[in-house]
């Protein structure tokens, strides 16, 4: 390609959309173009309009860009650095470090546009991924190399749950943790960086951010950039990667903004017509292969708590587990605020998690579902109108609900309670013993915010006589039914 055919001129600028005329060879789609006063504005080719014009999306703010300015085609796609030296660092979508440390050395640059691994290289074995969080490991087991979604509205604890998983994974796993912030607040990135540094786990992590204030083009590409880094560790170093994406809805939202800017006809509820394709291109790269696995946990903001929103529906179709967070649970002080009945996992079958675990999980769900049905009766007629059998079910369910709460390392500074990681065996044993009515005489509050079941017995003597002592003010009181609206 000669220099003449490699340069063009800006013909129009509309926000982040830039039209460019090339006299010679047209750059292919996804090529990175440089323009602006010091060639500091990056534009990615989105579509070829005719024999001489391309339309691109600017990945930086376009202030100062004017018609007639020279555009240089790099002939390459947007690339990010990969290699061992990216560990412990924080990047933006262009692969620039943003943590004010010394420059990177010994890295190679890979294009962010990669194909998903072929079926022949994917693993056919289903393995469980242990998180150390009771409610998830017992009822919603995650898949190694799978994709789990954290569904919830604003402020129900998605980011806290992700942060806790990073802490637990990096603490005892030899894998790599990657955090990809798509359209999230810079405060969250700043806090996460310093929390991980203080916890001593930063050297096994890579952080990548496309913040809320960045143009839609940058937010749209940051997920692909994070996956390119994760794929390096999987393919080249044969390591397992835990990829945390906060928030996948912001990726869809950025795509919607780009689509609107490009003048595409919107689909249902204003979403882009290419929503499913764009999401699939990202999600299909997350897989368990013969080289290693990328396990992804993705926070999914649900607009107006509506699970039938197209963004939530299309995301659901890619997931092997769905963890639904509930505002009602959060208001009762039951953290993590997981709606145990609405959440599910494809891994919860006897062939994968074993007969004992499966039977126990089913029994827990059955008990909680029965309690949910009884809540209306309790609210209208009072607890004393229930049969003896229903009384037992309510007692078991309330103890289970409290036992499945857990103090997090991520919230130590707010709650003052020391964080705990619980082994799967201890969590199963605790649930089993509660279901067999072994703790009928132990006050409910003794089960609140503990690790293994032994702690309930240690707390019990102190708690006797003051049942609600450990619950927050706005929690549902275990001693005075009915309080249900």
Distance of CA 117 to the CA centre of its chain: 22
Q: 16 in helix, strand or coil?
A: coil
Record the tokens describing residue 417, joined without a space. 């309670």
Give phi and psi for 284, each to the nearest 5: -70, -15
Give phi and psi for 344, each to the nearest 5: -155, 165
Residue 37 CB partners (closer than 8 Å, separation 6+): 64, 69
The vertex-213 CA angle with 212 and 214, nearest 5°, equals 95
Cα 153 to Cα 65, 67, 160, 304, 435, distances in angstroms: 38, 42, 13, 7, 32
Instruction: Output DSSP code: residue 185.
Output: -
Give phi and psi for 300, each to the nearest 5: -125, 105
Q: 300 in helix, strand or coil?
A: strand
Instruction: Output DSSP code: residue 85.
Output: G
Radius of gyration of the chain (CA): 25
- Give 152's strand partners: 301
Record the tokens describing residue 293, joined without a space. 């696995």
Strand order in the sheet with 344-345: 90-91, 205-210, 176-182, 241-246, 294-301, 147-152, 321-324, 344-345
Q: Is the peptide bond before 482 cis (omega within 30 degrees of 0)?
A: yes
Distance of CA 221 to the CA centre of its chain: 16
Catalytic residues: 158, 184-185
């Amino acid at each position: 390609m000669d220099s003449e055919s490699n340069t063009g001129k800006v013909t129009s600028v509309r926000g982040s959309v830039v039209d460019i005329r090339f006299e010679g060879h047209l750059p292919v789609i996804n090529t990175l173009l440089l323009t602006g006063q010091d060639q500091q504005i990056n534009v990615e080719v989105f579509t070829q309009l005719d024999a001489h014009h391309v339309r691109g999306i600017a990945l930086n703010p376009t202030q100062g860009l004017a018609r007639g300015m020279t555009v240089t085609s790099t002939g390459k796609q947007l690339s990010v650095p990969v290699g061992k030296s990216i560990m412990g660092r924080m990047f933006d979508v262009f692969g620039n470090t943003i943590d004010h440390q010394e420059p990177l050395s010994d890295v190679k640059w890979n294009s962010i546009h990669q194909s998903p691994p072929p079926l022949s290289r994917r693993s056919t074995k289903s393995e469980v991924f242990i998180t150390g969080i009771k409610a998830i490991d017992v009822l919603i087991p995650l898949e190694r190399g799978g994709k789990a979604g954290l569904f919830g509205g604003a402020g129900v604890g998605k980011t806290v749950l992700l942060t806790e998983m990073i802490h637990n994974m990096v603490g005892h796993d030899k894998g790599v943790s990657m955090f990809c912030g798509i359209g999230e607040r810079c405060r969250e990135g700043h806090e996460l960086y310093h929390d991980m540094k203080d916890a001593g786990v930063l050297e096994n992590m890579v952080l990548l951010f496309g913040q809320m204030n960045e143009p839609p083009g940058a937010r749209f590409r940051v997920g692909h950039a994070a996956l390119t880094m994760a794929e390096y560790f999987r393919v080249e170093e044969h390591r397992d990667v835990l990829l945390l994406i906060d928030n996948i809805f912001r990726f869809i939202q950025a795509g919607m903004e780009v689509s609107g800017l490009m003048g595409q006809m919107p689909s249902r509820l204003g979403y882009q017509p290419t929503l499913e394709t764009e999401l699939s291109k990202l999600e299909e790269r997350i897989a368990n292969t013969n080289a290693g696995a990328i396990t992804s946990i993705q926070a999914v903001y649900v607009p107006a708590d509506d699970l039938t929103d197209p963004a939530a529906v299309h995301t659901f179709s890619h997931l092997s587990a769905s963890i639904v967070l509930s505002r009602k649970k959060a208001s009762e002080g039951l953290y993590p605020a997981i709606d145990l009945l609405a959440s599910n996992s494809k891994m919860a079958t006897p062939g994968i998690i074993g007969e004992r675990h499966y039977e126990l999980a089913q029994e827990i769900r059955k008990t909680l579902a029965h309690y949910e049905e009884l809540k209306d009766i309790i609210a209208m007629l009072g607890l004393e109108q229930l049969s003896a059998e229903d009384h037992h079910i309510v007692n078991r369910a309330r103890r289970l609900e409290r036992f499945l709460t857990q103090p997090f390392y991520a919230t130590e500074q707010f709650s003052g309670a020391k964080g705990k990681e619980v082994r799967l065996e201890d969590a199963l044993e605790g649930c089993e013993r509660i279901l067999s009515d072994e703790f009928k005489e132990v006050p409910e509050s003794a089960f609140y915010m503990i690790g293994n079941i032994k702690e309930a017995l240690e707390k019990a003597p102190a708690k006797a006589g003051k049942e609600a002592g450990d619950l927050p003010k706005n929690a549902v009181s275990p001693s005075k039914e009915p309080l249900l609206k």
